[in-house]
Amino acid sequence: MPSPFAATSPRLTARIAGGLYLAYILTTALATYLRSTLITGNAATATDNLLARPDVLRLAFVTDLVSALLFFFAAWALYTLLRPVNENFGLLFLLLNLGGVIVQAVNALNLLAALQVLNDSNYVSSFSTVQLQAIVMNDINLYNNGFMIAQIFYGTWVLPLGYLVYKSGFLPRFLGALLMVDALAILFWFSQYFLLPSYSTLSYPALAVSFIAEFGLALWLTFMSVKTRHPPTAMGKEVGQRVA
């Protein structure tokens, strides 16, 4: 698969991947914060917030989409960097990432649907205030469920990614191991949300592992890049020597 990062050096590609990953993390945090300022309390409070500050929800929607795009470009840069280790595994994590990005982008429409209900005269004239609030909360719940569905893709993509980082020889093995544990942590979080929704505290350690693994990878790529004495040479083999 052709890549826009193919012409760059491995060190520059690593920094680009790390920068994009950091940008993804920051935009995701911003979108989450914006949503949290509106979707809080009971249905009546959330509805009032959406009516009072629709621009904030629209900004959260756009930020969500930008976040998804940045994530895919980060994965593409990582694919370019790690493809020489094993191209099939590289393509696998790229496609899994794309699956999650598509779900995330389409799911964001549920937020706009909640806003549309409140601003559409047909809905306002046809339903009581309580009914409108129920419809809005249903859209918000659909968004939350869609967000979690995306996690099954985001959980599985870091497994082949972690394996390739571990086997690369030009990135620390501990990062690869952390990413593979991260995959299990995200899948645990996904399972808890749908199977044990009343026990959200069970996932707190898993969320901490995910943050450490992925933020750590982004920081390492951005500031440390990769250390190689010779370029990657063969698929599925050690492709560099780490400098002590």
Whole-prediction pTM value? 0.88
pLDDT at 5: 64
Secondary structure string (H, E, C) spanning 95-156: HHHHHHHHHHHHHCHHHHHHHHHHHCHHHHHHCCHHHHHHHHHHHHHHHHHHHHHHHHHHHH
pLDDT at 8: 74
User: Which has the minimum average pLDDT: 18-22, 122-126, 166-170?
Assistant: 122-126
**What integer is the mean pLDDT of 160-173?**
97
pLDDT digits (tens, 9 = 90+) for 104-128: 999 999 999 999 989 888 888 889 9
**What integer is the mean pLDDT of 14-41?**
95
Select from 31, 14, 23, 29 the least CA-distant residue to 72: 23
d(CA 51, CA 202): 34
d(CA 241, CA 229): 6
**What integer is the mean pLDDT of 80-96?**
97
Task: Kindly tell me if the per-residue pLDDT of 33 is higher than 80.
Answer: yes
User: Which has the minimum average pLDDT: 2-6, 168-172, 219-223?
Assistant: 2-6
**What integer is the mean pLDDT of 154-163?**
97
pLDDT at 3: 61
- At residue 186, what is the residue type? I
Mean pLDDT of the chain: 90
Residue 228: C-alpha distances to residues 11, 14, 24, 162, 206 (Å): 9, 12, 27, 19, 32
Task: Kindly tell me if the per-residue pLDDT of 240 is higher than 80.
Answer: no
